[in-house]
Amino acid sequence: MEITISSKRLQQEVIQTELCTSCGMCIGLCPYIKSFKEKTAFIHQCQVDDGKCYNICPRGETDWPQMDQEIFGKQRTDHVLGNYNQLLFARAKESDFSQKGQYSGLTSALVSYALSIGEIDGAVLSGGEPGKMPEPTLATTRDDVLAAAGSKYSAVPTLLSLNKAIEEGFKNLGVVGRPCQVLAARKMQLRYNNPSDLPGNKIKLIIGLFCFWALSPEFYEFLAEKTKGANIASLDITTEDLVVRTNGEELKLPVENIRRFICPTCQQCFDPTSEFADLSIGSTEFDPGWNTLIIRTDKGRELIEQSIKDGIIEVYTYPAERIPLLLQAVGNKKKRVLEEWEPTYLKLNESYHRAVERGM
Amino acid sequence: MSIDSVKIEQPGKKVLLTGNEAIARGAIEAGMKYATSYPGSPSAEVLDVLAKVGNPFGIYAEWSTNEKVASEAAAAASFAGIRSMTIMKPDGLNVAIDFFTSLAYSGINAGMVVVLGDDPSAHSSIKEEDSRYLAKLSRLPILEPMNIQEAKDLTIKAFELSEFIGLPVVLRGVTRICHASGLVTLGDIEKAKAPVKAELKEKFLCQPLAHPELEQKVKKAALWAENNNTIEYSGPANAESIVIATGPCALYAKEALIELGLTDEIGVLRLKMSWPLPDKTLLGYLKGTKEVIFAEETDPFIEEGITSLVAYHGSEIGPIKFFGKRNEYVKGPMGAGIGELNTDILIDTLAEIKGIKRPDYSGSTASCVEHVCGSIPLRDRAFCAGCPHRASYWAIKAALSLDGNNGFVLGDIGCYAMGRGPTGYNMLSTVHSMGSGVGLANGFGTMQRFDFKQPVIAVVGDSTFYHAVIPALINAKHNSAKFLCVILDNSTTAMTGHQPHSGSVIDARGVDAPALSIEKIISGIEIPYTIADPYDVNDTIDVILAKLPEPGPKVLILRQECVLLKSKVGKNQKMYIDQTLCLGSKCGCGDLCSRAFNCPANINAPEQGKMIDQALCVGCGVCATLCPTHAIKLVEGS
Ligand SMILES: Cc1cc2nc3c(=O)[nH]c(=O)nc-3n(C[C@H](O)[C@H](O)[C@H](O)COP(=O)(O)OP(=O)(O)OC[C@H]3O[C@@H](n4cnc5c(N)ncnc54)[C@H](O)[C@@H]3O)c2cc1C
């Protein structure tokens, strides 16, 4: 018999199968779903059919072509990077952002700018000290944004802050999230926006990060052990190493050492570049003073144009010789997911399968 | 039926008493001066009554910490020459059994009566245990009253017998005696007024050499039974068929025979004393009998005694066909030896044995029950509205779900044992006897070496804590057993009617008494503890989550007074529902208050929507904390 109760479906298809990404979007939608140590838990059975929790879940059934249609009004031609407008190098110009930010601080600079011009009245971010369990936060000022800068490499349930902010009455919210979070926020935005007091209508800007995987919180215990409790100033994960900077010292550990902490759901992720965001931002894997920027929607393009005009950020042509590297990394990941996992949550059409056969 | 009737000084006057009151009255008439008990249904009120009315008669009455101490204290009084009584349910006898099997060997001095309140069908127990086997094991003669008058009279007889043989004697009441009411002709109370002096003059040592003497005492008890009219026969002379019954089953049998029109054919032989049996008298009745039907609750106790007796005397008394539990003739709807008997069951049994049709009798118990109850909606056992246990279980459930490591909860005995059912979100994985939850936690908590990883919570009540949990916690500390003991401290023994316990500021008689602090005892064992308010659900969840991973034993005291006690003082807060905010059954709530949290004061009315039942609500505010839209609000200034 087909299960129609959303919370049961969510438990069976997503929680029990360890597909939950801990995006946080369902947390706080009702009193039954909560998060603890980056794990989503059901504390009581709900009996509602067609509930939001399943409908907004990034690992709930997702019709990929339909998402493209609803967001971009068209199907994709690029099966690796999805629908986009421009691929660029970009960086924040102000030193505060480049110092606090993971790379150039582009993301933080854009969020701070969007707040300053009133484009958004709050931004949902992932704050906390480097190397410690991060926390979902809501930023309303430049200082708040700077305090939440820097990548946290675990699955922060950031979007629970989105639900909280909506409940508190924020009307124009920005979101910075991992690709799964972008998908969840988009689902909320598209599916629950009419009448206008519904939560989807309060989501105004979605900035997505590049993300190939996030780690489980045991990673922090591992870190504390490796650094012998020293204060961690910053963390970075490059293609080869985990780089931990403590006061004065730099510790390099091969990425292999932390693979065992990778969340199982990340292996089934089909979206390393936040394909449904307004803007997607990643590293350049090359120059930490810059970021990779993908402009996807008109809204994203307008924000970038305006922030360039106001001298907040600057952009640079994406070096042609680096494009194949990016395409290869992303394409391989997507191909692997389809071939090895055939995730059941993904609903794709023929063009995707043909693309896989062609090698993406 | 007022407890004042228990102390009336008018011999010959008829008053309405409950069985428990009648037992108390019997004890007073017998000059009993020293009573102890740990509360247990159905016999809890006996000590309550003695504590309330006993003062003018110089009676000492205490709620003891557990049944073992209660029995020992009562035995001490007997040693010192004072008639004593200890009252418990079968579970309590289990706790005290080690003492009783030893006491048999040392013997006693003044009369000592052990009142055992058995609970066939387990109306207010977790199991239906027939205490007679353990009584026999401890060589305690057993008297079984048939009605309320006899509850009093046999109590007095029990003291006589006890002194005659030098052993304690059991008075076995069942729920239908203890909780039923009937007219009782009062007796002389003169003896109660006589002054007594306690002094220990002999030694009471348990030693194996005393065994032969003990068996002689048992023989003496059987002889007493022969000479004291402990067998009562009613029915035709030389009946070929007889029902042999104990306690109220004799009344059911008589009624069944009337209904079936068999009174001229079948007699009823009632045993007031079910162990040891008066063999000679019994054999006299059995001689010439062709059929014997047994009616007793719950186990086939006299059935075994009598069939064994007949096996030794077959050649003298000729063949008898027996109908009982062993061959499954006497059985209720759940099977032989399970549940109470009643007139209906015996009508069916006798009709089957006699091969006659059961009369179509519309006045049968079953049809009356159906007539009355047909229209009453089924209602599950549930915590009261505002009960702190509901909030505690909600918090425990939430914490274990959040913790996500397959943690479980070990239960214990008290109102909170209902945590096994929907009212406690089916949280309990085990329920056994007083203190067993923490004992089991000791086991789970020391199995890490076997790759055991699940978090363990043991819940206990405050009264249970004093009763049997302290040794288990000592064991846990010494062996570093990892678990969280949650003490649901509602400041009373709620399940049995709010008796004070060792942590109370008054004793059984209402006199000021030193209250033992749970936290001081725990500090003494050097187990870390935290105190939280279960009504503050979110704080409680956080505390549990923080405590679970810590090594060794930990204690969390969830302290909030029983709402029944509180409501006596009057409620202080009122809640209401703001209908403009209430989501009801929609996504985002899904009936949290009336379905999920399921407090009886949160109702879902078909037309009005969610409502607070003002008659039930005690204003604890937990539903307001949990309500996702903050629709449940406090009435300002209430
Ligand atoms: C788990 C994880 C894995 C990543 N993997 C890759 C990768 O493989 N390749 C790649 O090119 N880039 C990856 N990134 C993105 C990269 O680390 C930078 O976050 C991104 O390039 C933006 O840089 P920035 O200088 O603009 O950052 P900042 O200005 O410092 O802004 C980063 C923003 O991300 C938010 N954030 C931090 N941690 C999280 C988190 N765990 N979840 C959601 N939001 C968070 C912060 O609140 C902040 O607003 C990953 C990021 C994360 C969080």
What's B323's domain CATH number? 3.40.50.920
What pLDDT score was predicted for residue A198? 94
Question: Strand, helix or coil at A279?
Answer: strand
In a domain, B517, yes or no: yes
Cβ-based contacts of A43 with chain B (< 8 Å): 397-398, 401-402
pLDDT for residue B636: 76
| pLDDT tens per residue across span B24-72 | 999 999 999 999 999 999 999 999 999 999 999 999 999 999 999 999 9
- Residues B516 and B418 grouped into a single domain: yes
Residue B609: CATH number of its domain: 3.30.70.20
pLDDT class of B571 with cuts at 50, 70, 90: low
Residue that terminates a domain, selected from B170, B196, B225: B225
Q: How many CA atoms lie within 13 A of B224 on its CB side?
A: 26
Band (pLDDT 50/70/90 cuts) for residue B366 is low
**CA proximity to B225, closest of B295, B168, B178, B272:** B272
- The pLDDT assigned to B566 comes to 82
The answer, yes or no, to whether residue B607 has pLDDT greater than 90, is no
- Identify whether residues B256 and B320 lie together within a single domain: yes
B296 and B417 inside one domain: no
Predicted local confidence at residue B374, as pLDDT? 73
Give the confidence band of B193 by pLDDT, cuts at 50, 70, 90. confident
pLDDT digits over A67-98, tens only? 999 999 999 999 999 999 999 999 999 999 99
More confident residue, B565 or A142: A142
- Does residue B299 sit in the same domain as residue B334? yes
Answer with the one of B225, B252, B284 that is the final residue of a domain. B225
pLDDT at B363: 65
pLDDT digits (tens, 9 = 90+) for B378-410: 788 899 999 999 999 999 999 999 999 999 999
C-beta A346 within 6 A of ligand 1 = no
User: Reduced to 3 DSSP states, what percent helix, strand and coil does chain B have, rounded to the nearest 5?
Assistant: 40, 20, 40
Lowest-confidence segment of A226-230, B141-145, B209-213 by average pLDDT: A226-230
Determine the pLDDT at residue B215.
98
What's the average model confidence in pLDDT over B107-127?
96
pLDDT at A358: 87
Nearest CA in chain A to B394: A43
Q: Is residue B20 part of a domain?
A: yes
Instruction: Pick the residue whose CA is nearest to atom 33 on ligand 1.
Output: A149
Whether B363 is in a domain gets the answer no
Q: Residue B592 is nearest to which of A29, A31, A50, comparing CB atoms? A: A31
pLDDT at B380: 84
Write the CATH number for B214. 3.40.50.970
Q: Which of A273, A264, A249 is nearest to A155 (CA)?
A: A264
- Strand ranges (E), B26-168: 34-37, 60-63, 84-88, 112-118, 142-143
pLDDT for A346 equals: 96
Whether residues B238 and B209 share a domain: the answer is no
With CA atoms as reference, report the closest residue to A20 among A256, A265, A231.
Answer: A265
User: Is a pLDDT exceeding 80 seen at residue B1?
Assistant: no
Q: Ligand 1 centre and the CA of B431: distance in Å?
A: 50
Calculate the CA A184 to chain-centre distance.
Answer: 10
- Mean pLDDT value across residues B302-307: 98
Share of chain A above pLDDT 70, in %: 100
- Chain A partners within 8 Å of B591 (Cβ): 47
C-alpha dihedral over B105, B106, B108, B113, to 10 degrees? -40
Per-residue model confidence as pLDDT tens digits over B404-455: 999 999 999 999 999 999 999 999 999 999 999 999 999 999 999 999 999 9
Question: A251 pairs with which residues across the strands?
Answer: A244
Percentage helix, strand, coil for chain A under 3-state DSSP, each rounded to 5 = 40, 20, 40
Closest by CA position to B390, among listed B618, B229, B220, B591: B618
Nearest residue to B516 (alpha-carbon basis) of B43, B172, B65: B65
Indicate whether B159 and B236 sit together in one domain. Answer: no
Contacts of residue A352, Cβ cutoff 8 Å, sequence gap at least 6: A64, A65, A79, A338
Of the given ranges (A200-214, A346-360, B108-122, B288-302), which has the lowest mean pLDDT? Answer: A346-360
CB of B12 within 8 A of CB of B186?
yes
Are the C-beta atoms of B336 and B307 separated by less than 8 Å? no
Task: Looking at the structure, tell me whether residues B39 and B173 fall in a common domain.
Answer: yes
User: Distance from A15 to chain B by nearest Cα, in Å?
Assistant: 11
* Average pLDDT across chain A, whole number: 95
B540, B607: one domain: no
pTM of the shown model? 0.94
Under 8 Å between Cβ of A131 and A244: yes
Asked if residue B570 has pLDDT above 80, the reply is: no
- Across the interface, do A50 and B587 touch by the CB < 8 Å criterion? yes
DSSP notation for B570-626: -----EEE-TTT--TTSTTTSSIIIIII--TTEEEETTTEEEE-TTT-----HHHHH
Residue B368 within any structural domain of the chain: no
Which of A43, A47, A53 lies closest to B402 in CB terms?
A43
Residue B372's pLDDT is what? Answer: 75
In eight-state DSSP terms, residue B155 is H
Q: Is A25 within 8 Å of A199 (Cβ atoms)? A: no
The residue segments making up the domain with residue B580 are 575-634
| For residues B200-215, average pLDDT | 97
Domains of chain A are 6-216+262-358 (no CATH), 218-259 (3.10.450)
Core vs surface per residue B536-561: b (16+ CB within 10 A) or e:
bbeebbebbbebbeeeebbbbbbbbe
- On the question of pLDDT at B572 being above 80, the answer is no
| Structural domain count, chain B | 4
CB atoms within 10 A of CB A343: 18
Helices (H), chain A: 6-9, 52-55, 64-72, 95-100, 106-116, 142-147, 160-167, 179-191, 218-226, 298-309, 323-336, 350-358
Q: What is the pLDDT of residues A120-162, one digit of tens each?
A: 999 999 999 999 999 999 999 999 999 999 999 999 999 999 9
Q: What is the mean pLDDT of chain B?
A: 95
Q: Enter the tokens of residue A210.
A: 């590049």
Q: Does the N-terminal peptide bond of residue B36 adopt cis geometry, omega within 30 degrees of 0?
A: no
Establish whether this prediction's ipTM goes over 0.90.
yes
Same domain, B327 and B433: no
DSSP annotation string for B230-269:
-EEEESSTT-SEEEEEETTHHHHHHHHHHHHT-TTTEEEE
10 Å CB burial of residue A93 (0-12, 13-18, 19+) is: middle
- The band of A1, judged by pLDDT with boundaries at 50, 70 and 90, is low
The answer to whether B490 and B462 are in contact (CB under 8 A) is: yes
| Average pLDDT, integer, range B590-608 | 94
Domain assignment present for B370 = no
Residue B85 region, left (φ>0) first, then alpha (ψ -120 to 50), else beta?
beta
- Rounded Cα distance between B537 and B402, Å, is 14
Do the chains contact at B588 and A43, CB–CB below 8 Å? no
**CA nearest B425: which of A74, A56, A45?**
A45
B367 is a domain residue: no
Radius of gyration, CA atoms only, chain B? 27
**What is the DSSP code (8-state) at residue A74?**
S
The helix (H) or strand (E) run that includes residue A252 is strand A250-254
Could you tell me the two tokens for B396?
A: 């425990």
Are B242 and B212 within one domain? no
- Regarding the beta carbon of A91 and ligand 1, being less than 6 Å apart is answered no
DSSP string, B505-540: SB-TTS-B-PPPPHHHHHHHTT--EEEE-TTSHHHH
Rounded Cα–Cα distance for residues B253 and B243 (Å): 7
- Which of B568, B589, B604 terminates a domain? The answer is B568
Residue B638 has pLDDT above 80, yes or no: no
pLDDT at A175: 98
